[in-house]
Amino acid sequence: MRQTLTLLFFLLTTALFSQNATLRGVVTDRERNEPLPGVTVRAGALVRATDAEGRFLFELPAGSYELSFTYTGYEPLRQVVRVAEGRTAELSIQLSYADNLLQQATVTAGKFEKPLGEVTVSLDILRPRLIENVNSTQIDESLVKIPGVAIVDGQASIRGGAGFAYGAGTRVLILVDDIPALQADAGYPNWADFPVENISQIEVLKGAASALYGSSAMNGIINIRTRYAPDAPETDAAVFSQVWGNPRNRQMKWWGTDTSGILLPIEAGYSFAHRRKAGRWDFVFGSFGAYRDSYNKDTYSRYLRVTPNVRFRVTDRLAISLNANFNVGRSGSFFTWANDSTGAYLPGANSTTANLGRLRYFIDPSVQYFDPYGNRHRFLGRYYHVFNDNTDDQSNKSDMLYAEYQFQRTMSDIGLVMTTGVVGIYTTVEALLYRGDYNTQNYAGYFQLDWKAFDRLNLSGGVRYEQNALKSPEVIQISPIEYDTIPNGITREGRPVFRIGANFQAAKATFLRASWGQGYRYPTIAEKFINTSFGVGNVAPNPDLVSETGWTAEVGIKQGFALGRFLGFLDLTGFTMEYDNMMEFDLDRLFPTIIFKSKNVGDTRITGFEASLMGQGRIGPGTFYLLSGWTRTNPIYRLAPGETFDQAKYKTSINKNVLKYRFRDMVKVDAEYNIGAYATGASVQYNSHMEAVDLVFELGIPGVKSFRDRYNKGFTLLDLRFSRKFGEHLKVSLLCNNALNQVYSYRPALLEGPRSYTVRLDWKM
């Protein structure tokens, strides 16, 4: 009996196995012929993800199957294949990069690649094409073209979430290749450090992102992603020269009429990048240099940046990288003008002129490893050194050490991605600005789940716990006669933050989304301990400054469309941001000396909506590119029931509970049309009047109040550009910025430039 059962079992299993077939293959990029890891491959109810070498394998019954291949940033592909019993079928699949903007790959929203249409938050992408075409010598010059983004005297704000903070503290976290790149002592972005010559894309996430990225990500994230070496070597080089013409009010012109020897304000420079592969090695070398004499007198910059990057692919699963960025230079600037007419481009009598020599560099080691189970392990590191050699006892030196380990598991069969990691940041600061030496420690752990259900619903949720410690002198001098004491010179704080979001694909090109996320920001050393003077007074420390917290919520719809061969999308968003204990530099006293200090000004609320229209594609004989949007905000101090606004309490220029240094309305349009070797483009930007500023600007600086009263309708800027290609390698561009020669200012007592003209030559190999 036992022998009979054994024989039957053997015959049955043999029959079953004989009906199976093997289907295997490899998926590569059509243009670069590189393997694509993580491609989702479906065969009926079976789901696989390609490994680090782009390979996939199915064991399945014989028959015909429709295979589908989907990968973020690439056009989906379907292919019917028939597999015979007991046979092995091998496929070689090539995927093409997606022209559809909704399929653009992003990583910032969840620390892994996801199509733009499926993210649960507002996120915009800036491509290197626009950065090059408008001759951006610094990243911030291009960022202002993104709807909702403002740069006020070097400090970024998204949808009115931040104002002008006198160079200290930020609510927008700047990343370079997923690693924080803010100056350690002040939380300030050094825009000249970021490599415009080697950009893959810039991702701007709008809203609180502290759950994934920690402190400083309260108002959003700007993630600058650099380019890797392609299969074929490539070289980009450019030279440019820009000159500024006469201002509309000829009385403002000082150049060519004084003893400085400057006949015209000018900026000239070059950029260079070379990328190549050599076996398992990837090499990228970039360099940028600029020489500038500004329309603002005694304002200048000369600097050189070098960015060598190298990556070694040890195996198909393991890669080791070492990137670096070195910036050396010198610059000068003043804080406030002399007046709003003949002295609009001259330093004021009491305005500090800063002459700054600098050396800044960061070195980034990183490791990425895919284990045999398909899990991704990443180590990210950065050493960031800043030395600013300044006049007037304002020199400072800081060092930041950053380390992050990240583990990510993708469960393709159930559509789940789990991301978790730990972060450690250690900084040291030596500065006369702060009257002592300081160090900070930040430790954090985070966990996030992203689930794609039923091919239409994307759910995301995450949590982060962050611990901060700050070591300072025990005794802090507040004024010549005031002192404060910090027990043992140590301040500690820990806090969890959470986020959730959902995205539902209601139709083929219709995506509905909703999200809520908490924000948290620990004070920078500059905000708590700065002790210096500037144009209109002094800045005093405030050791009692506490962290600010808040949350952001939004609902939105992204609707894709096709007009012939022009593909685009319309995005509509409503949002609310609330902050508790918001930190802002505020007037502390007027007499006997004007003193500012960073304060917790109270609770604030910013509500609004945003409409964006973006697209690219063929229209007629050429290709049309469009980036546009309108952002409307209502930024206010929250008042308790029955409370009336006290102008004296908030030291503001108007008797309304409106947050300072915000634009209620921002309208932006950038359009370009390419036909053959020719391209022409235009940018239009409208900013409404900045209603509220610090009262001391209008009281203490000549011309500020009269200028704001005279130009109280906002301003509209028009930039024009034209280019022509000569053959495959050379392109010549002509640009005219501020073509209407508008008189305008982003912050009080600092006038922006008149009309300018630029010539740029690009060479590509």
User: Looking at 87-154, which runs of residues are DSSP E strands?
Assistant: 88-95, 105-106, 114-115, 122-126, 149-152
At residue 187, the 3 state secondary structure works out as coil
Q: Which two tokens stand for residue 619?
A: 């229209």
Question: Domain 106-764 classified CATH 3.50.50.60?
Answer: no
For residue 607, count CB atoms less than 10 angstroms from its CB and return exposed for 0-12, middle for 13-18, buried for 19 or more. Answer: middle
Concatenated DSSP letters of 718-756: EEEEEEEEETTTEEEEEEEESTT-----SBTTBPPP--E
At residue 47, the 3 state secondary structure works out as strand
Is the distance from CB of 337 to CB of 750 less than 8 angstroms? yes
Which residues, listed in sequence order, are joined to residue 145 by a DSSP beta bridge? Answer: none
C-alpha separations of 280 from 28, 55, 276, 285 in Å: 17, 19, 11, 17
What are the residues whose beta carbons fall under 8 Å from the beta carbon of 8, sequence distance 6 or more?
none
Nearest CA to 597 among 589, 588, 605?
588
pLDDT at residue 1, as a whole number: 47
Domain boundaries, the chain: 20-95, 106-764
Length of the chain: 765
Instruction: Going from the first residue of the chain to its last (765 residues), give the mean pLDDT of each consecutive group of 10, the final group possibly shorter.
Output: 47 48 87 78 80 82 85 80 85 79 72 80 92 95 95 92 83 93 90 94 89 86 92 94 95 86 92 94 97 94 97 91 96 91 89 79 95 91 92 81 95 90 95 86 95 91 94 83 85 94 93 94 90 75 91 95 90 95 81 80 92 93 96 91 76 89 96 96 97 87 93 96 95 98 94 97 94
pLDDT at residue 349, as a whole number: 79
pLDDT at residue 147, as a whole number: 96
pLDDT at residue 536, as a whole number: 64
Q: Which two tokens stand for residue 237?
A: 């080089």
Instruction: Please give the span between the terminal C-alpha atoms of the chain, in angstroms, as a whole number.
Output: 78
Helix (H) or strand (E) holding 649: helix 647-650
pLDDT at residue 353, as a whole number: 64
Nearest CA to 49 among 412, 317, 377, 371?
412
CATH number of 20-95: 2.60.40.1120
- What sign has the CA pseudo-torsion 745, 759, 237, 719? positive
Residue 357 — left, alpha, or beta (φ > 0 → left; ψ -120 to 50 → alpha)? beta
| pTM for the full predicted model | 0.88
Question: What are phi and psi for residue 420, nearest 5 degrees?
Answer: -145, 155
- What sign has the CA pseudo-torsion 251, 253, 256, 260? positive
